[in-house]
Amino acid sequence: MNEKAIELYNQLKEGRKNIVKLIALGYTSEEIAKKTGYSYHTIGSFRKEIYKCIQVNTDQQVTAFAISIGIVTAEEVLMAKENDKDLWP
C-alpha cells in the first residue's frame, strides 16, 4: 500500500472518509446527500476538501486512490451501482 496516500487519507475527518468511499463507489453528490443527510451543497464543499487533501482532481482519481489504499475493491466499484448495494458503513 502507498504510505503517503494512507497518510493523506488519515488527515480526513471520519465523515469525509465515508464520503471518499461513496465517491469511489460511483455515487453522485445528490445520492451522497440523500444517504448522509447533508445538503447537496455541503457535499460539494466536502468534495473540494477531500480532493485537496488527497491531492486528486476527479472522481476517477478518488476511485483509484480508494482502491490503492484498500478502502474499496475494484469488484465493489464494479458491482455497487449494478446491484444497487448499500455499502455505507
Domain that holds residue 39: 3-80
Give the pLDDT score at 78: 87
Q: Which runs of consecutive H residues, i.e. helices, occur in 29-81?
A: 29-36, 40-54, 59-68, 74-80
For residue 46, tell me if it sits in a domain: yes
Residue 85 belongs to a domain: no
- Gyration radius (Cα) of the chain, Å: 12
pLDDT of amino acid 49: 96
CATH number of the structural domain spanning residue 62: 1.10.10.10
pLDDT at residue 86 greater than cutoff 60: no
Task: For the chain, give the mean pLDDT.
Answer: 90
When divided into structural domains, the chain yields a total of 1
Q: 42: which 3 cell numbers?
A: 455541503
More confident residue, 66 or 78: 66
Q: Which of 58, 70, 59 shows the shortest CA–CA distance to 10?
A: 70
* 88 lies in some domain: no
In a domain, 24, yes or no: yes
Residues 31 and 35: their CA atoms lie apart, in Å, by 6
Q: Average the pLDDT over 45-72 and give the result.
A: 96
> In terms of pTM, does the model score above 0.85?
yes
Is the pLDDT at 89 greater than 60, yes or no?
no
How many other CB atoms are found less than 10 A from the CB of residue 17? Answer: 16
